[in-house]
Chain A
């Protein structure tokens, strides 16, 4: 009757809202930086400075992006696209919604911190500083790409490419068992990636059979595949599920994480736990939920069981760890469980909680990991809790930072993590009360494992091989803290600069999370609607 009744297609806005291609710059700058840094092979100090400069400019760009982003605007902004393999409908296309934007901002924030924390990293024999910093910058570019990709094939390619710098960062610069950990990490992720590729191809061929026009464009796929019959969706869902369940990780697929975290250099560990793993949860949201809503609804109980199992299992196993880096890995497992609950409860609050949890978990565990690294530097490289004790007497500021990171990890109100954990549980309770109640046990366990570790490391008399040895052996002085303080210094100026931004953000996002939530909220609304809109059909 009228021309207007043809529904407006849900294609995203294809032009950036500014003349300057912010996203493109975000993607390319670290790559350029990596190339530049790798030329400073024999000048480690210059390499560090240049790398830091590039990462700081990248952070500036991310801040610009945050300001340019219009909260009420189109779903995908900063979009840019170019053909790659036209015959298969593969594009190089990027764009960010609120969720991707905060993840990219978080990457841009963490990389300078990580570079600063790696300033004095003791590299294994024969490894160059420039190589390390260049790899980190390469990783940064690829991570930004993974979150910003809007073409499923491109996402797959970047998802796998990301493994390469990480493989070398762990395998070349890590601890004693670095080879084993790196190979394990690579194989796990690669296997998941291949299953995802199979699903992506399956999705492509489904779209081709329906529309006659095969494409990997995410926006097109979401509108077509989401109407596929349940059985098709289930099969396709599984491929993505395995890739992300390994990445996130969910409970039976997690054993690569403790090894990789324990062996990776501290800064790399922060990126691994803080960013790389987030691709899993992000993938669940972006791909599983949006592409296969019916399958997501059908399989939600499975995912919730795995998530709750992760919360409890991770917490209990963490309590039994004496290696502090492995401890952090298991803590992360528990936190990823919380994020999983939030995603698969399909409520606005729960999902916003999960997304903000992605950011807050990076800050909390990132800081915890950095502090553990700083403790290890003072304790002759040991990260075993029983090598320490009474740290509060020797290095009060360091111990205080440890405690603050611990508080954020256990989601104390007033720290950033509380907001997200609260949102996750409050939101999930609306649709999934049973799983939520089980999940709240994780809150108690969190207090248990954090405080127990803190008690072992920081409380009590000065003890443990690492500290007593430095203090000149037991009985060297009447008050061993005096002896230990002479040898073991508290936080240096550089270390304070590394931790200060984290402290500020942890508290700021704890008391005023509104800006973060406002950016995330509209994008989450779209996702939640997508997964629940066809309830009637």
Chain B
């Protein structure tokens, strides 16, 4: 099977993730879209590792996963505390950090 299928899929997933981040307001959904982008990148990394016959791509994918896991922990905690104080999970509601 040609690697281009995997790459196209990864690109599609990435695009969906980007659009999700840009258009959705719910923080949880935005967060999931970011995960989607990360995983599409992982897919790309694994694909190229396979194509080049090198392991470093796969190692990198593991790094991304570890970082993503850590990020989920912190990110969800932040979202939770924001939700508790503001009774809202919309990213547009927390816009105090400006000018």
Taking the complex as a whole, does A directly touch B, i.e. does some CB pair lie under 8 Å apart?
no
